[in-house]
Structure 1
Amino acid sequence: MTTPGRLYGVGLGPGDPELVTIKAARIIGRADVIAYHQGPRKRSNARRIADPYVRSGVTEELLEYPVTTGITDHPGGYAGAMADFYEDCARRLAAHLVAGRDVVVLAEGDPLFYGSYMYVHDRLKERFSTEVVPGVPAFGAATAALGTPLARQTDVLTVLQGTLPRPELARRLADTDAAIIMKLGRTFPSVRAALAEAGRLADAWYVERASMTEQRWLPVSDVDPDAVPYFSLVVVPGDTHAGRRRYDDPDAAPPPAPTTAELVVVGLGPGADEWLTPEAATVLAEVDHVVGYAPYVDRVPQRPGLRRHASGNTVELARARFALDLAVRGERVAVVSGGDAGVFGMASAVFEAAEDPAFAGVHVRVVPGVSAVQAAAARAGAPIGADFAVLSLSDRLKPWPVIERRIRAVAEADLVLAVYNPRSRTRTTQVGDLRDILLAHRDPATVVIVARDIGRQGESLTVTTLAGLDPESVDMRCLLIVGASSTRVSQAGRAWTPRYVED
């Protein structure tokens, strides 16, 4: 019985045959079959790079792409055409492997970095022995050509595709220290516009055919957009991200003496763009820095000159101090929160941090936003039309016994109750506990509203009862509204609470 051959994905580097590794050259030289991808009516660049190492008489498999753009008459579109193509590639290579022949698939750069080899690898790795030989990526050759450091110390490097929508590309460029943008060609005008919006155009370099004899590099602003080939990329060095500082940087210079300054805390609303108030939009259009939890910072459109400072969900005080420090230095800063910043948002954390005498000269202004409870109630009807209470079920900042006491007090007072943060990945039992505490004081038929992702894509709203509330149906994207004894549901399914109270 014939022993199956071995599949190799061999990285050849960016173009210079001398950048092919010793291991890659050795494996290519002993291969039974050399396979390589090639565009229609083009010569494979991978095959050209490998030419000095390919032995005479080796079997070659040309894997020619059926299409190179999104235009095709395939019933499955471009994705369908390419899926069929890779299935055919895998079938052809498998025939050699079954016959006991070792197959080397040539790959420009690195085989598993935006390479075609990976699609063959995915289809054959469970059936045959495989080995991947890494190669020098194109951006490594590009930064070497520029002679410019790409990332230092704690710099974050982001590799981006020029095919991303321009607003998304601009946002990511503004948020990172160093960046590589690949897949240019026809996307170059959009890439250049995104660099300008992110304030990174002046420091961005264009590198064409890195490591090849015809390589060249020049500032992106000087590039003719009609003459950008596929073998090109953009380098944005991390050193160029002016003024980037981190919340907990121990080497950061202390703030200067307090001066008269302002910090604006902005509520963005619960998700829908139309719920951003004109006042909030005006502030965001004027500031130089936006500070906040990453998903909220992402909602602020990128524009030239805007610096974005995103962080995780458990560093509120550090985030507030960072923003106050910027304000003391004379920067125009907005701290953003979802919904209303004063309702379980950043406003309280900012005022707490501002108690530090170092920030005595900073005036804190709060710009209100549509709160999540307002948005959910509006979708449901008018359940908070009478007296109501708002409670967070999270015990991260207060102990659970305190939460229990407050739930009982609300229940005994017969108030409508809006519940934020009902559940998380680590807090899975508290919705059930909430229901049980309320059932000790409320009719099982009490109206309950489960609002999920209100104002966002895929929003849903369920009207049920306290007895019918399924804790497993509640997740971290939900807000609950538990009605009072007077809350009722109309024939149209709308929940509302009368403003009057009957004795």
Structure 2
Amino acid sequence: MAKLYGVGVGPGDKELLTIKAVRIIENADVIVVPTAVANGKSIAYDTAKDFINEDTYVFFKHFPMGGAEQEEKIFEAFRCILKYLKEDKNVVFLTIGDPFIYSTYIYLLNYIKECGYDIETIPGITSFCACASVSNEHLVIGDEPLKILPASRLDSINDEKFLVIMKVYKNESNVINFLEKRGYEYTYIKRAGRKGQTILKKKEDIMNSCDYMSLIIARKKGD
């Protein structure tokens, strides 16, 4: 029986692809590439393209962020994937970072599972682990918890010592003001491991360097 593979390609540096991810990409019959913008570029594709065989069919699918249109596009992608699975073709769904961290792939799984097809998910290096590495900022230590959240959920922070704040684009000012008020020191990282990689620690510098592919690592001062 054909199988759907969810393959995490990491933060965008092809050298950070796992050996298993490369093997599965090389042997795929069909590769699905999600894009956040219609006819937009894909970091996941750019990361994996050197390992895609010429006879592999690749198609790009637009997945808008949120709203009724998102669900419609997800179901549309499911029907396309199902068509190829029924033809006994193995399908790879590429995701930037890890497939189970804020990924469209998650929404597809229930549809595929209901049809009885096998699914295998290949983990990828997460953006926050890549950002920690390039900035030499530790994420957590000892037995302390690490809180990972999107910038839209600052209200869920309960004085944790260690934070990773994702999806900070267009929310930079709110996030930094919040962190400074609560006594956190912070590091802003964009495009980790890719051209344009930038690491910043001052608010004014961050506000002049905003980028979609960015996040903030924060910790309570003195920790």
Superposition TM-score tier, normalisation by shorter sequence: over 0.9
Partner of 2:26: 29
Deviations 1:436-493 (A, max 9, x none): xxxxxxxxxxxxxxxxxxxxxxxxxxxxxxxxxxxxxxxxxxxxxxxxxxxxxxxxxx
Partner of 1:150: 139
Partner of 2:222: 242
Give the whole-Å Cα distance in 2 for the aligned partners of 1:231 and 1:82: 20
1:217 aligns with 2:199: yes
Give the whole-Å Cα distance in 1 for the aligned partners of 2:33 and 2:113: 18
1:138 aligns with 2:120: no
Instruction: Give the gaps of 5 or more residues in structure 1.
Output: 69-77, 244-503
Give the whole-Å Cα distance in 2 for the aligned partners of 1:186 and 1:58: 37
Deviations 1:281-332 (A, max 9, x none): xxxxxxxxxxxxxxxxxxxxxxxxxxxxxxxxxxxxxxxxxxxxxxxxxxxx
Paired-residue identity, %: 28
1:51 aligns with 2:31: no
1:119 aligns with 2:119: no
Partner of 2:16: 19
Structure of greater relative contact order (alpha carbons < 8 Å, 6+ residues apart):
2
* CA-CA distance at 1:233 after TM superposition: 0.3
* CA-CA distance at 1:125 after TM superposition: 2.1
1:182 aligns with 2:166: yes
Which residue among 101, 107, 112 is the counterpart of 2:95?
A: 107
Conserved? CA contact 2:200–2:206, under 8 Å = no
Superposed, which structure 2 residues align to 1:350-365 within 5 Å?
Answer: none
Conserved? CA contact 1:156–1:178, under 8 Å = yes
Q: What amino acid is aligned across from residue 129 of structure 2 in structure 1?
A: G
Partner of 1:205: 187
Deviations 1:32-66 (A, max 9, x none): 0010111224211100000111111211121113x
Q: What amino acid is aligned across from residue 31 of structure 2 in structure 1?
A: I
Give the whole-Å Cα distance in 2 for the aligned partners of 1:6 and 1:100: 8
Partner of 1:63: 61
Conserved? CA contact 1:90–1:120, under 8 Å = yes
* CA-CA distance at 1:120 after TM superposition: 1.2
Equivalent residues, number: 221
SS, match of residue 125 in structure 1: helix
Deviations 1:146-169 (A, max 9, x none): 1122211111100010122x5x15
SS, match of residue 86 in structure 1: helix
Give the whole-Å Cα distance in 2 for the aligned partners of 1:89 and 1:31: 17
Q: What amino acid is aligned across from residue 199 of structure 2 in structure 1?
A: W
* CA-CA distance at 1:241 after TM superposition: 4.5
Higher Rg: 1
Conserved? CA contact 1:141–1:210, under 8 Å = yes
* CA-CA distance at 1:184 after TM superposition: 1.3
Superposed, which structure 2 residues align to 1:300-311 within 5 Å?
Answer: none
Q: What amino acid is aligned across from residue 231 of structure 1 in structure 2?
A: M
Conserved? CA contact 1:34–1:58, under 8 Å = yes
SS, match of residue 123 in structure 1: helix
* CA-CA distance at 1:234 after TM superposition: 0.1
Give the whole-Å Cα distance in 2 for the aligned partners of 1:148 and 1:227: 20
* CA-CA distance at 1:119 after TM superposition: 1.0
Conserved? CA contact 1:220–1:234, under 8 Å = no
* CA-CA distance at 1:122 after TM superposition: 2.4
* CA-CA distance at 1:242 after TM superposition: 3.4
Give the whole-Å Cα distance in 1 for the aligned partners of 2:208 and 2:75: 35
